[in-house]
Amino acid sequence: MSSQEENQNKNVNKNVSAKIVDKIKQIQSHSLPSLPSLPSLPSLPDFPTYEECMRKSKEFWESFTFFSKNNYEALDRMWARGKDFLGTKYAIMGGAMSWLSERHLVSAISNGGGFGIIASGGMKPDILRTEIQAVRMMTSKPFGVNVITMHRQIDEMLDVCIEEEVTHIVFAGGVPTAPHIKKVKDAGIKVICFAPTLAMAKRLIRLGTDALLIEGSESGGHIGPISTLILAQEILPHITEVPVFVAGGVGTGGALVSFLEMGAAGCQIGSRFVCATECIAHPNFKKSFMRANSRDAMPMIQIDPRFPVISVRALGNEGTKHFIAAQKEAIARFENGEIDAKTVQDEIEHFWVGALKKAAIDGDVENGSVMAGQSVGLIDKEQPAAEIIENLVEDSVNEISKRRKLLEG
């Protein structure tokens, strides 16, 4: 490149640089549009230090644990007498249910902290013995045996309980005789009896019962005429000599805590345990329970006052009609002189045992008897027995917490 060309290039570069500098000056001279003025912000509180945060959260959780621990202890105190009597973690008895309260359900309830009870109504003595031994193999926790006073082999049934060193017997289906109570008590077995009235409760205490069960008409299976709430008010304030357990319609912690406040030592639950995973009830039977409303569990009617049948609460179905037909047929045979009055009642009782098996075990929920308490309306799922028990305990603790808050304002 010649020196002339070189000079020309330098001039071009100078011009370009001067233009760029001008442009920059132009841009820099542009003033920005003014921003709208911002509202003044409230002054922020001083942030707590990390240590303060930790201290506050620790205080909160400590007070929470203290609170719930207190409520749990309160429940423990409320049913201490029942727990001591049964020898269990919780004073919750799994009410005996014919065909269903066998080794699986009984051991599951006892392992879950409750008190499982074998229903021996439909068993013969040798079957009862096998069942007691089987439960022992499945749990080391306490359990009892429900013995029906009208059982044709009641003496042999009691002998089996004594030989197998059963700790608690529940006499059901009527008032046990004084010799039967004495026989088992002499063997060191604790006796629990159903008290349908205050007068009967006092009589049973004189006969030596160690505890009482009051079972209201909300229950499933064979029922009396009086509701749980009335029986509780009639009996609980007047019986202090022995622990009293309440059965029939206990489905939530609210009901349980209320009965404990009224003086009960614990409760007995039947229907809820039908839908325990471990219960051997046919899936159709369980499904009927999960679908039913409380009002579907109706007491069966008695057609002739000369033959007072013990009322049975069950879900209405074709089986209800079969029951009425069975009563009519037995009464007609009585009137023809074919059978006596006692046989009529025996036949009616046998009808139930067979009808319950048909529904509960064979799954014929249309023609069999789906015995269920009114608490059936509170059941909507199948759960392990231990979970049913824990849920009820948790619900009761929450209930105590609610009441405490209500009282403390």
Ligand X SMILES: Cc1cc2nc3c(=O)[nH]c(=O)nc-3n(C[C@H](O)[C@H](O)[C@H](O)COP(=O)(O)O)c2cc1C
Instruction: Select the span of 181-189, 211-219, 384-392, 393-401 touching ligand X (CB under 6 A).
Output: 211-219
For residue 197, count other CB atoms closer than 10 A to its CB.
14
Instruction: Select the span of 27-35, 94-102, 325-333, 343-351 touching ligand X (CB under 6 A).
Output: 94-102
Instruction: Specify the DSSP element, H or E, that contains 316.
Output: none
Cα–Cα distance list, 163 to 107, 119, 129, 192, 389 (Å):
20, 18, 9, 19, 31
195 in contact with ligand X (CB under 6 A): no
DSSP 211: E
Task: Give the three-class secondary structure for 106.
Answer: helix
For residue 335, count other CB atoms closer than 10 A to its CB.
10
Whole-angstrom Cα distance, residue 264 to residue 237? Answer: 9
Specify the residue, 283 or 337, whose C-beta has the smaller distance to ligand X. 283
Specify the residue, 108 or 331, whose C-beta has the smaller distance to ligand X. 108
Name the H helices within 125-167. 125-138, 154-163
What's the length of the chain?
409
Specify the residue, 119 or 235, whose C-beta has the smaller distance to ligand X. 119
Q: Contacts with ligand X in 110-129 (CB under 6 A)?
A: 119, 121
243 in contact with ligand X (CB under 6 A): no
Q: Which amino acid is at 93?
A: M
Instruction: Select the span of 160-168, 237-245, 370-378, 394-402 touching ligand X (CB under 6 A).
Output: 370-378
253 in contact with ligand X (CB under 6 A): no
Tokens 């068993």 sit at which residue? 123
396 in contact with ligand X (CB under 6 A): no
- Token pair listed for 366: 């249309």
**Of residues 88, 107, 219, 288, which one binds ligand X by CB under 6 A?**
219
98 in contact with ligand X (CB under 6 A): yes
**Of residues 75, 97, 244, 379, which one binds ligand X by CB under 6 A?**
97
**In 52-163, beta strands by DSSP E:** 92-94, 115-119, 143-148
Q: Which residue is at the shortest CB distance from ligand X? A: 270
- What is the nearest approach in angstroms of ligand X to the Cβ of residue 406? 27
Residue 191: beta bridge partners? 169
User: Torsion-angle region of residue 351: left (phi > 0), alpha (psi -120 to 50) or beta?
Assistant: alpha
71 in contact with ligand X (CB under 6 A): no
270 in contact with ligand X (CB under 6 A): yes
209 in contact with ligand X (CB under 6 A): no
Tokens 């008032």 sit at which residue? 175
**Of residues 371, 388, 389, 392, which one binds ligand X by CB under 6 A?**
371
Specify the residue, 204 or 269, whose C-beta has the smaller distance to ligand X. 269
**Of residues 114, 249, 253, 263, which one binds ligand X by CB under 6 A?**
249
Whole-angstrom Cα distance, residue 398 to residue 253? Answer: 8
215 in contact with ligand X (CB under 6 A): yes
Instruction: Select the span of 89-97, 128-136, 204-212, 332-340 touching ligand X (CB under 6 A).
Output: 89-97
Instruction: Specify the DSSP element, H or E, that contains 193.
Output: strand 190-194
Residues of the shown chain interacting with ligand X in the complex, contacts defined by CB under 6 A = 95-98, 119, 121, 146, 172, 215, 218-221, 247-250, 268-272, 371-373, 375
